Protein backbone atom coordinates (compact mmCIF):
# COMPACT_ATOMS: atom_id res chain seq x y z
CA UNK A 1 0.00 0.00 0.00
CA UNK A 2 1.56 3.30 -1.06
CA UNK A 3 0.46 6.89 -1.30
CA UNK A 4 -0.73 6.53 -4.86
CA UNK A 5 -2.94 3.58 -4.10
CA UNK A 6 -4.28 5.22 -1.01
CA UNK A 7 -5.14 8.41 -2.81
CA UNK A 8 -6.86 6.49 -5.60
CA UNK A 9 -8.85 4.63 -3.03
CA UNK A 10 -9.99 7.90 -1.55
CA UNK A 11 -10.52 9.63 -4.85
CA UNK A 12 -8.10 12.35 -3.82
CA UNK A 13 -4.78 13.48 -5.16
CA UNK A 14 -1.53 12.37 -3.60
CA UNK A 15 -0.90 15.95 -2.64
CA UNK A 16 -3.98 16.22 -0.54
CA UNK A 17 -3.46 12.93 1.17
CA UNK A 18 0.15 13.76 1.91
CA UNK A 19 -0.85 17.09 3.35
CA UNK A 20 -3.61 15.62 5.39
CA UNK A 21 -1.15 13.20 6.93
CA UNK A 22 1.51 15.74 7.65
CA UNK A 23 -0.75 18.20 9.38
CA UNK A 24 -0.77 20.96 6.82
CA UNK A 25 -3.47 23.57 7.43
CA UNK A 26 -4.72 23.84 3.86
CA UNK A 27 -6.83 20.74 3.98
CA UNK A 28 -10.44 20.47 4.97
CA UNK A 29 -10.96 18.93 8.39
CA UNK A 30 -13.55 16.53 7.02
CA UNK A 31 -11.13 15.39 4.33
CA UNK A 32 -8.40 14.91 6.85
CA UNK A 33 -10.66 12.75 8.95
CA UNK A 34 -11.51 10.66 5.95
CA UNK A 35 -7.82 10.18 5.14
CA UNK A 36 -6.90 9.28 8.69
CA UNK A 37 -9.70 6.78 8.76
CA UNK A 38 -8.48 5.15 5.56
CA UNK A 39 -4.96 4.98 6.93
CA UNK A 40 -6.23 3.16 9.93
CA UNK A 41 -8.15 0.70 7.86
CA UNK A 42 -5.46 -0.04 5.32
CA UNK A 43 -2.53 0.10 7.70
CA UNK A 44 -0.73 2.40 5.33
CA UNK A 45 2.70 3.60 6.42
CA UNK A 46 4.79 5.98 4.38
CA UNK A 47 7.97 4.52 3.00
CA UNK A 48 10.78 6.05 5.01
CA UNK A 49 13.31 5.87 2.23
CA UNK A 50 11.07 7.84 -0.08
CA UNK A 51 10.26 10.31 2.63
CA UNK A 52 13.88 10.80 3.33
CA UNK A 53 14.74 11.24 -0.29
CA UNK A 54 12.06 13.85 -0.67
CA UNK A 55 12.63 15.76 2.52
CA UNK A 56 16.24 15.11 3.29
CA UNK A 57 15.18 14.24 6.84
CA UNK A 58 15.68 10.74 8.06
CA UNK A 59 14.27 10.80 11.57
CA UNK A 60 17.32 9.08 12.89
CA UNK A 61 20.43 9.50 14.91
CA UNK A 62 23.59 7.83 13.77
CA UNK A 63 26.34 6.40 15.84
CA UNK A 64 29.38 4.30 15.27
CA UNK A 65 29.88 1.20 17.33
CA UNK A 66 33.46 0.02 17.43
CA UNK A 67 33.55 -3.74 17.14
CA UNK A 68 35.95 -6.43 16.06
CA UNK A 69 36.55 -10.07 16.91
CA UNK A 70 38.82 -9.27 19.82
CA UNK A 71 37.09 -6.08 20.82
CA UNK A 72 35.36 -6.06 24.17
CA UNK A 73 31.83 -4.95 24.40
CA UNK A 74 31.07 -2.43 27.04
CA UNK A 75 28.37 -2.50 29.70
CA UNK A 76 28.20 1.23 29.65
CA UNK A 77 27.29 1.26 25.98
CA UNK A 78 24.01 -0.53 26.52
CA UNK A 79 23.00 1.67 29.38
CA UNK A 80 23.72 4.82 27.46
CA UNK A 81 21.79 3.53 24.48
CA UNK A 82 18.82 2.88 26.72
CA UNK A 83 18.90 6.54 27.65
CA UNK A 84 19.08 7.69 24.06
CA UNK A 85 16.27 5.34 23.20
CA UNK A 86 14.06 6.54 25.99
CA UNK A 87 13.99 9.98 24.44
CA UNK A 88 14.04 8.86 20.81
CA UNK A 89 10.94 6.77 21.20
CA UNK A 90 9.00 9.88 22.19
CA UNK A 91 9.80 11.53 18.89
CA UNK A 92 9.57 8.51 16.65
CA UNK A 93 13.27 8.67 15.98
CA UNK A 94 15.41 5.62 15.54
CA UNK A 95 19.09 4.86 15.51
CA UNK A 96 21.35 3.83 12.77
CA UNK A 97 24.27 2.00 14.19
CA UNK A 98 27.24 1.51 11.99
CA UNK A 99 29.58 -1.12 13.29
CA UNK A 100 33.16 -0.33 12.53
CA UNK A 101 36.63 -1.61 13.01
CA UNK A 102 38.03 0.40 15.92
CA UNK A 103 40.90 1.54 13.70
CA UNK A 104 38.57 2.84 11.07
CA UNK A 105 36.23 4.97 13.11
CA UNK A 106 36.85 8.26 11.39
CA UNK A 107 36.10 6.80 8.00
CA UNK A 108 33.06 4.95 9.31
CA UNK A 109 31.74 8.16 10.76
CA UNK A 110 32.18 9.92 7.46
CA UNK A 111 30.46 7.15 5.57
CA UNK A 112 27.58 7.27 7.98
CA UNK A 113 27.27 11.01 7.69
CA UNK A 114 27.23 11.24 3.92
CA UNK A 115 25.11 8.16 3.42
CA UNK A 116 22.07 10.34 3.86
CA UNK A 117 20.85 7.85 6.41
CA UNK A 118 20.99 10.07 9.45
CA UNK A 119 20.12 13.57 10.57
CA UNK A 120 22.58 13.84 13.38
CA UNK A 121 25.51 12.06 14.89
CA UNK A 122 26.40 11.04 18.36
CA UNK A 123 30.03 10.53 19.32
CA UNK A 124 31.44 8.84 22.37
CA UNK A 125 34.57 7.28 23.78
CA UNK A 126 36.40 10.52 23.33
CA UNK A 127 40.16 10.52 23.29
CA UNK A 128 42.71 13.20 23.80
CA UNK A 129 43.16 15.17 20.58
CA UNK A 130 40.40 13.19 19.02
CA UNK A 131 40.76 13.10 15.24
CA UNK A 132 37.03 12.80 14.77
CA UNK A 133 36.42 16.37 15.83
CA UNK A 134 38.05 17.92 12.79
CA UNK A 135 36.11 15.61 10.54
CA UNK A 136 32.82 16.44 12.21
CA UNK A 137 33.37 20.15 11.87
CA UNK A 138 33.88 19.79 8.15
CA UNK A 139 30.66 17.89 7.77
CA UNK A 140 27.77 20.32 8.07
CA UNK A 141 25.80 17.85 10.13
CA UNK A 142 24.49 18.16 13.66
CA UNK A 143 26.33 16.26 16.30
CA UNK A 144 26.82 16.09 20.03
CA UNK A 145 29.85 14.67 21.70
CA UNK A 146 29.57 12.71 24.91
CA UNK A 147 32.63 13.65 26.86
CA UNK A 148 35.32 16.00 25.69
CA UNK A 149 38.64 15.76 23.97
CA UNK A 150 41.54 16.71 26.16
CA UNK A 151 43.90 19.04 24.40
CA UNK A 152 41.45 20.03 21.66
CA UNK A 153 39.92 23.48 21.48
CA UNK A 154 36.52 23.14 23.23
CA UNK A 155 34.56 24.62 20.34
CA UNK A 156 32.28 21.70 19.69
CA UNK A 157 28.92 20.77 21.21
CA UNK A 158 29.31 18.37 24.08
CA UNK A 159 27.83 17.00 27.23
CA UNK A 160 30.30 15.84 29.79
CA UNK A 161 30.50 15.23 33.48
CA UNK A 162 33.03 17.01 35.60
CA UNK A 163 35.43 14.13 35.86
CA UNK A 164 38.24 16.18 37.23
CA UNK A 165 36.02 17.73 39.88
CA UNK A 166 34.59 14.38 40.85
CA UNK A 167 37.94 12.80 41.49
CA UNK A 168 39.30 15.94 43.06
CA UNK A 169 36.46 15.92 45.59
CA UNK A 170 36.80 12.21 46.21
CA UNK A 171 40.49 12.59 46.83
CA UNK A 172 39.88 15.49 49.20
CA UNK A 173 37.50 13.37 51.20
CA UNK A 174 40.11 10.68 51.60
CA UNK A 175 42.72 13.24 52.50
CA UNK A 176 40.48 14.60 55.21
CA UNK A 177 40.17 11.10 56.57
CA UNK A 178 43.90 11.11 57.04
CA UNK A 179 44.99 8.99 54.13
CA UNK A 180 48.35 9.69 52.60
CA UNK A 181 49.05 6.70 50.38
CA UNK A 182 46.83 6.76 47.31
CA UNK A 183 46.29 4.64 44.27
CA UNK A 184 44.14 5.13 41.17
CA UNK A 185 42.53 2.40 39.10
CA UNK A 186 41.65 4.13 35.90
CA UNK A 187 40.23 3.39 32.47
CA UNK A 188 42.38 3.21 29.33
CA UNK A 189 44.86 6.03 29.33
CA UNK A 190 44.04 7.45 25.93
CA UNK A 191 40.44 8.17 26.91
CA UNK A 192 39.59 11.69 27.88
CA UNK A 193 37.76 10.89 31.08
CA UNK A 194 40.69 8.89 32.37
CA UNK A 195 43.03 11.79 31.85
CA UNK A 196 40.76 14.22 33.63
CA UNK A 197 40.14 11.93 36.54
CA UNK A 198 43.82 11.42 36.99
CA UNK A 199 44.33 15.16 36.90
CA UNK A 200 41.69 15.59 39.56
CA UNK A 201 43.47 13.20 41.87
CA UNK A 202 46.90 14.65 41.21
CA UNK A 203 45.70 18.16 41.74
CA UNK A 204 44.07 17.38 45.11
CA UNK A 205 47.14 15.48 46.25
CA UNK A 206 49.38 18.26 45.04
CA UNK A 207 47.69 20.71 47.36
CA UNK A 208 48.94 18.62 50.26
CA UNK A 209 52.33 18.15 48.76
CA UNK A 210 51.61 14.55 47.85
CA UNK A 211 52.18 12.82 44.54
CA UNK A 212 50.74 9.83 42.78
CA UNK A 213 53.52 7.43 41.96
CA UNK A 214 53.58 5.58 38.65
CA UNK A 215 53.16 2.21 40.33
CA UNK A 216 50.08 3.46 42.14
CA UNK A 217 48.28 4.05 38.90
CA UNK A 218 46.69 1.49 36.66
CA UNK A 219 45.14 2.03 33.27
CA UNK A 220 43.06 -0.82 31.95
CA UNK A 221 39.72 -1.85 30.56
CA UNK A 222 37.07 -1.35 33.17
CA UNK A 223 36.23 -4.95 33.88
CA UNK A 224 35.87 -7.03 36.95
CA UNK A 225 39.00 -8.97 36.07
CA UNK A 226 41.21 -5.94 35.55
CA UNK A 227 39.99 -4.56 38.84
CA UNK A 228 41.14 -7.70 40.60
CA UNK A 229 44.54 -7.64 38.96
CA UNK A 230 45.16 -3.98 39.59
CA UNK A 231 44.22 -4.22 43.24
CA UNK A 232 46.41 -7.26 43.72
CA UNK A 233 49.30 -5.28 42.35
CA UNK A 234 48.61 -2.37 44.66
CA UNK A 235 48.39 -4.59 47.71
CA UNK A 236 51.80 -6.04 47.05
CA UNK A 237 53.55 -2.71 47.02
CA UNK A 238 56.03 -2.21 49.84
CA UNK A 239 54.24 0.95 50.93
CA UNK A 240 50.73 -0.33 50.50
CA UNK A 241 48.22 2.39 49.57
CA UNK A 242 45.26 2.76 51.91
CA UNK A 243 43.11 4.97 49.72
CA UNK A 244 41.99 3.76 46.32
CA UNK A 245 40.12 5.66 43.66
CA UNK A 246 38.46 3.63 40.98
CA UNK A 247 36.91 4.64 37.67
CA UNK A 248 34.07 2.17 37.62
CA UNK A 249 31.89 0.13 39.91
CA UNK A 250 32.43 -2.87 37.63
CA UNK A 251 36.13 -2.59 38.22
CA UNK A 252 35.54 -2.03 41.93
CA UNK A 253 33.88 -5.41 42.06
CA UNK A 254 37.11 -7.18 41.26
CA UNK A 255 39.08 -4.83 43.42
CA UNK A 256 36.95 -5.63 46.44
CA UNK A 257 37.44 -9.31 45.85
CA UNK A 258 41.17 -8.78 45.92
CA UNK A 259 40.87 -6.90 49.19
CA UNK A 260 38.86 -9.69 50.75
CA UNK A 261 41.22 -12.34 49.47
CA UNK A 262 44.10 -10.49 51.07
CA UNK A 263 42.27 -10.69 54.35
CA UNK A 264 41.85 -6.94 54.54
CA UNK A 265 38.69 -5.10 55.49
CA UNK A 266 37.14 -2.57 53.16
CA UNK A 267 36.45 0.74 54.86
CA UNK A 268 39.01 -0.01 57.56
CA UNK A 269 42.29 -1.25 56.12
CA UNK A 270 41.46 0.02 52.66
CA UNK A 271 39.21 2.88 51.67
CA UNK A 272 37.72 2.81 48.21
CA UNK A 273 35.77 5.32 46.18
CA UNK A 274 34.51 4.36 42.75
CA UNK A 275 32.77 6.27 40.04
CA UNK A 276 29.20 5.07 39.63
CA UNK A 277 27.49 5.36 36.27
CA UNK A 278 24.29 4.08 37.87
CA UNK A 279 24.22 0.78 36.05
CA UNK A 280 21.10 -1.15 36.88
CA UNK A 281 22.98 -4.37 37.28
CA UNK A 282 25.28 -3.09 39.95
CA UNK A 283 24.05 -1.18 42.98
CA UNK A 284 26.88 0.21 45.08
CA UNK A 285 24.54 0.61 48.03
CA UNK A 286 23.92 -3.09 48.20
CA UNK A 287 27.53 -4.18 48.09
CA UNK A 288 28.46 -6.14 51.19
CA UNK A 289 30.31 -3.06 52.28
CA UNK A 290 28.27 -0.30 50.66
CA UNK A 291 30.47 1.65 48.33
CA UNK A 292 31.30 5.33 48.52
CA UNK A 293 30.88 6.70 45.00
CA UNK A 294 30.96 9.69 42.74
CA UNK A 295 27.71 9.36 40.92
CA UNK A 296 26.32 10.51 37.61
CA UNK A 297 23.68 8.68 35.65
CA UNK A 298 24.88 7.55 32.27
CA UNK A 299 21.35 6.96 31.22
CA UNK A 300 20.30 10.48 32.09
CA UNK A 301 23.14 11.71 29.92
CA UNK A 302 21.78 9.59 27.08
CA UNK A 303 18.34 11.09 27.47
CA UNK A 304 19.73 14.60 27.47
CA UNK A 305 21.92 14.08 24.44
CA UNK A 306 19.01 12.63 22.51
CA UNK A 307 16.97 15.66 23.52
CA UNK A 308 19.55 18.02 22.18
CA UNK A 309 20.13 16.06 19.02
CA UNK A 310 16.48 15.59 18.17
CA UNK A 311 15.60 19.09 19.26
CA UNK A 312 18.17 20.56 16.96
CA UNK A 313 17.06 18.47 14.01
CA UNK A 314 13.47 19.47 14.60
CA UNK A 315 14.59 23.03 15.19
CA UNK A 316 12.75 23.07 18.46
CA UNK A 317 14.30 25.95 20.24
CA UNK A 318 17.92 26.59 21.09
CA UNK A 319 19.93 24.26 23.25
CA UNK A 320 23.04 25.00 25.22
CA UNK A 321 26.00 23.91 23.23
CA UNK A 322 28.10 22.71 26.05
CA UNK A 323 27.03 21.16 29.30
CA UNK A 324 29.18 20.05 32.16
CA UNK A 325 27.38 18.04 34.79
CA UNK A 326 28.51 17.91 38.37
CA UNK A 327 28.70 14.51 39.96
CA UNK A 328 27.44 13.66 43.43
CA UNK A 329 29.78 12.38 46.07
CA UNK A 330 27.91 9.78 48.04
CA UNK A 331 29.61 8.62 51.18
CA UNK A 332 28.95 5.08 52.29
CA UNK A 333 30.86 2.51 54.27
CA UNK A 334 33.79 1.77 51.99
CA UNK A 335 35.62 4.87 53.17
CA UNK A 336 36.93 5.32 56.65
CA UNK A 337 39.74 6.97 58.59
CA UNK A 338 43.25 6.03 57.59
CA UNK A 339 44.47 3.09 59.64
CA UNK A 340 47.23 3.78 62.19
CA UNK A 341 50.63 2.80 60.92
CA UNK A 342 51.49 -0.59 62.34
Partner DNA sequence: TTCGGTTGTCAAAGCGCTTTGAAATTTCTT
Partner DNA sequence: AAGAAATTTCAAAGCGCTTTGACAACCGAA
Binding site for a copy of itself (CB under 8 A): 43, 45, 47-50, 52-53, 58, 60, 65, 67-69, 71-75, 77-79, 81-82, 84-86, 88-89, 94-101, 111-112, 114-117, 221-225, 228, 250, 253-254, 257, 260-261, 279-283, 286-288, 299
- Residues 200 and 195: their CA atoms lie apart, in Å, by 9
Distance from chain centroid for Cα 157: 14
Minimum CB–partner distance for residue 103 and a copy of itself (Å):
12
Among 19, 127, 179, 304, binds DNA (CB under 7 A): 19
115 binds, among DNA, a copy of itself, none (CB under 5 to 8 A by kind): a copy of itself
- Residues 223 and 242: their CA atoms lie apart, in Å, by 22
Q: Which helix (H) or strand (E) holds 100?
A: strand 94-100
Distances in Å between the Cα of 47 and the Cα atoms of 17, 27, 40, 78, 96 are 14, 22, 16, 29, 17
Task: Closer to a copy of itself by CB, 65 or 170: give it.
Answer: 65
Distance from chain centroid for Cα 271: 27
Axis-axis angle for helices 298-313, 75-88 (nearest 10): 40
- Residues 97 and 285: their CA atoms lie apart, in Å, by 34
Task: Closer to DNA by CB, 28 or 211: give it.
Answer: 28
Are 180 and 210 in contact, with CB atoms under 8 Å apart? yes
**4 contacts DNA (rule: CB under 7 A):** yes
Task: Closer to a copy of itself by CB, 221 or 329: give it.
Answer: 221
Q: CA angle 24-27-32, nearest 5°?
A: 95
Among 8, 9, 14, 161, binds DNA (CB under 7 A): 14
**15 contacts DNA (rule: CB under 7 A):** yes
Minimum CB–partner distance for residue 111 and DNA (Å):
13
Reference 307, options 134, 138, 93, 108; nearest CA is 93
Minimum CB–partner distance for residue 105 and a copy of itself (Å):
11
Using the rule CB under 7 A, give the single segment among 24-32, 71-79, 90-98, 176-184 that binds DNA: 24-32
13 binds, among a copy of itself, DNA, none (CB under 5 to 8 A by kind): DNA
Task: Closer to a copy of itself by CB, 208 or 314: give it.
Answer: 314
What φ, ψ does residue 296 adopt, rounded to 5°? -160, 125
- Residues 203 and 200: their CA atoms lie apart, in Å, by 5
Q: Is 233 helix (H, G, I), strand (E, B) or coil?
A: helix
**2 contacts DNA (rule: CB under 7 A):** yes
**53 contacts DNA (rule: CB under 7 A):** yes
Minimum CB–partner distance for residue 38 and DNA (Å):
13
Are 284 and 294 in contact, with CB atoms under 8 Å apart? no
**115 contacts DNA (rule: CB under 7 A):** no
Task: Closer to a copy of itself by CB, 9 or 210: give it.
Answer: 9
Amino acid sequence: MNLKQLSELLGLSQTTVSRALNGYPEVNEATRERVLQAVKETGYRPNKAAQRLATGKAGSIGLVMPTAPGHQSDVHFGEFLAGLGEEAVRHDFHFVIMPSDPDDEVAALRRLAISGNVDALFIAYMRAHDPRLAMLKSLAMHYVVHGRSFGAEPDYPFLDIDNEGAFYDATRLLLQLGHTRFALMNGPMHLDFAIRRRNGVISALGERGLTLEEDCMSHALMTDEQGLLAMERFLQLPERPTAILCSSTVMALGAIRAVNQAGLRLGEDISLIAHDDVLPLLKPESFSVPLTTTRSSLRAAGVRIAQRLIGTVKQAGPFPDQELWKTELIVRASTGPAPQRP
